[in-house]
Structure 1
Amino acid sequence: MRLIKLDAIDSTNDFLKSLSSHDEPENFTVVTAENQTKGKGQMGEKWSSEAGKNLIMSVLVKDFLFDNEKVFDLSIVVSLAVTEVLKSLNIPDICIKWPNDILSYNKKLAGILIENTIKSDGRILSVIGIGMNVNQTDYSELPNASSLAVISGKTFNKETLAVLIVEKLQEKIKLWETSAESFRNDYFNSLFKKGVPMPFRNQNDENFMGIIQGVSRIGKLQVLLEDDSVAEFEIKEVKMLY
């Protein structure tokens, strides 16, 4: 893998997308930054991080997605790659909050943002942004967040983490064709609050009770409602209240 290390940048995803539009970087090119001034989360939300303390990285993936209807496959692969690396480091109680936030003890450790670009020849280039709370310890203003250092009491080498994640991602992508159903099951079994009655809020600010039943092939959250019907929700159409 090619590693590009930056001191500060507005967004590693934007940097890698720009690089891909002017050049032809090799597959699994990685960009990391010590500080990111315009980090993005899902649906344009801001993602911020204490400079120098956390893992801020973007990875280019080519020749995996060939159909826009299957973009959630990559989300599954990336989420599992990150969770397996964290488990290998003995970070406890790891789960995936739909669609791809990584939690430990119900606290957010990492967020994933995948942005896809369709090239003129029909190829899909994916830029995977991963923000992981690593060595930061002050979360007084972020009560739902934590870090590897807080949970484990140890500090971690951010570059080593990046390499481990990319190696696991490469492994998962290589195995996808023969292991897709197994990976989908692993993803579902790792879901936060699956099978548990819990409150939700819809986009009309209405609260309701439901039970997570699964995730559709295109990434919609499937929730069993009190009338025994199953509703499907896109990102931002529903919020878990916990």
Structure 2
Amino acid sequence: MLETPQRRPARFITFEGGEGVGKSTQVRRLLTRLANKGIEGVRTREPGGTPKAEAIRSFILQGRSEAWGAGAEAVLFAAARLDHVNQLIGPNLEKGTWVVSDRFCDSTRAYQGLTGGVEDRLIDALEVLALDGHSPDLTIVLDMDPVIAFERVQRRAVEDGLQVTGDRFEKEEIEWHRRLRHGFLDIASANAYRCVVISAEQSEEALEEAIWDVVSSRFPELQGRAA
């Protein structure tokens, strides 16, 4: 009698870091590497990922919530995250599809908490509500000097013929972004079991390899097989 093969556990991987560090590019590259190994994955982002969450994203990044303060923004992000978890992240993990997200709960803790001054107890409560038990298996924190990051953003915009205007957070002063960077590093240090910091001050190709080394060594089903 043939045994029923066990379903491979689905993994939840998140990318974090400041503005312009290359998260979106590396999310795409990682999903390509996983697909080459026959692993089905879905790409998503925060805020966003579902129609309702994308509407909240637009509202916040247009600066329409700025006057309400960081606490109100944290609540809005949590509302978007709850829908994201219930409608996309949870169902995909349940059916065995890996989920790779450009930002997740650590961004709220860094932006509205450590940088925006929202108390830990509010951030903690919102996190419990929104995550519903769906914590990431691995978080890649891409680290880069914000001066270098914004130089890259501006250079790519010029190459693409675009004008850099900045969204709700991109337009903050450079010192704000330095505090944000240290906020992410503090989060990674406090959650070393889950978070891995990788320098993003290298080529996209070298960064992809560094990320793959971490991911493939973390999960047994990826070890010993080239992507």
TM-score, with structure 2 as normaliser: 0.26
Q: Relative to total residues, which structure has the larger helix share, 1 or 2?
A: 2
TM-score, with structure 1 as normaliser: 0.25
Q: Relative to total residues, which structure has the larger strand share, 1 or 2?
A: 1
Q: Which has the higher contact order (CA 8 A, sep 6+)?
A: 2
